[in-house]
Structure 1
Amino acid sequence: MRLWSLHPSILDRAALVACWREGLLAQAVLAGSTRGYTRHPQLERFRAVDEPLDAIGHYLSGLRTEAAARGYSFDGSRVLRPDAAAPGIPVTSGQLGFELSHLRAKASLRDPEWLPRVPEVARPAPSFAERPGAIESWERGVVTS
């Protein structure tokens, strides 16, 4: 599961579509309507806010807005709380930088024409508020201290 902290406008098509699908799964987990992925580390940041379903609803709505701008049709009726306010989930600058590098690597293989659209400096998705710090402790495959 990859719930990108990056602004959806810089995600290539595959990342945007996968993030939507995985965001819907995250919503199901947070709503208690599925038994899988309940301990996935990326859900920690959504669970840490007062209203996790509002947070994932806002996140999904941001993805849907970007999809619509590109002419894609993501089914908004699947978002349980589409009108939720921005939750301001903290995300570190180190995490954003890590994800930007990860996105570059993926885009260079699957969509090299998209690569010039990936900026040099990461920008967080509307649901997140950037703060200084290293890569987040919940990030898999990275040794953090």
Structure 2
Amino acid sequence: MRLWSLHPKYLDPQGLVALWREALLAQAVLRNETSGYRNHPQLERFKIHPCPRCAISLYLKGVHTEAETRGYSFDQSKIMPALYSVRLRVTAGQMAYEWAHLMSKLKTRNCKLYEKWQGTEAPVPHPLFEVCPGEVEAWERQ
């Protein structure tokens, strides 16, 4: 499971579809609707938030918005409503780590997107996140 901190605009089609599925799985985990993946490290930042269900709903909305921009038809009814507007923090180190990880994936999987984004020095985060100083997150498996 990879719940990118990066804006979904950087993902190739396979990455965006995978993100949608994985975020829906994360939503099910946070709603106690499945027994799998409960201890997955990518869920940690959502679990520690005071309103984890709101956070994952807003995360999914960001992914859905990108999908609509591309003309995809992801089923918005699968996103549970968020009762509150929330933000999560992500460290600059985590953003840099994820950017390098994504660039290595794109280099082998989608050369056009790799060439488009390779000169990006400061990628923007998913709309749910605000970037703060810091190293790679402790929950990240490196």
Q: TM-score range by the shorter chain?
A: over 0.9
- Give the CA deviation at 1:35: 0.1
Task: Quote the residue 2:36 is aligned against.
Answer: 36
Q: Deviations over 1:83-115 (max 9, x none)?
A: 752x22110000000100111000111111111
Distance in 2 (alpha carbons) for counterparts of 1:83 and 1:108: 39
Q: Is the 8 A contact 1:92 1:133 kept in 2?
A: yes
Distance in 1 (alpha carbons) for counterparts of 2:122 and 2:114: 13
- Give the CA deviation at 1:11: 1.4
Distance in 2 (alpha carbons) for counterparts of 1:83 and 1:126: 17
Distance in 2 (alpha carbons) for counterparts of 1:80 and 1:110: 32
Identity value in percent = 49
Distance in 2 (alpha carbons) for counterparts of 1:12 and 1:21: 14
Q: Is the 8 A contact 2:53 2:82 kept in 1?
A: no
Task: Quote the residue 2:17 is aligned against.
Answer: 17
Task: Quote the residue 1:100 is aligned against.
Answer: 99
Task: Quote the residue 2:137 is aligned against.
Answer: 136
Task: Quote the residue 2:127 is aligned against.
Answer: 126
Distance in 2 (alpha carbons) for counterparts of 1:84 and 1:59: 13
Distance in 2 (alpha carbons) for counterparts of 1:84 and 1:47: 16
Q: Is the 8 A contact 2:55 2:82 kept in 1?
A: no
- Give the CA deviation at 1:117: 3.0
AA partner of residue 18 (structure 2): A
CA distance 1:64–1:111, change in 2 (3 Å): same
Distance in 2 (alpha carbons) for counterparts of 1:77 and 1:83: 15
- Give the CA deviation at 1:120: 2.6
Task: Quote the residue 2:8 is aligned against.
Answer: 8
Q: Is the 8 A contact 1:95 1:136 kept in 2?
A: yes
Length-normalised TM-score, structure 1: 0.92
- Give the CA deviation at 1:72: 0.6
Task: Quote the residue 1:54 is aligned against.
Answer: 54
RMSD of aligned Cα (Å):
1.2
Distance in 1 (alpha carbons) for counterparts of 2:67 and 2:84: 18
- Give the CA deviation at 1:55: 0.2
Structure 1: 5+ residue runs without aligned partners? none
Number of residue pairs aligned between Structure 1 and Structure 2: 140
Q: Is the 8 A contact 1:57 1:84 kept in 2?
A: no
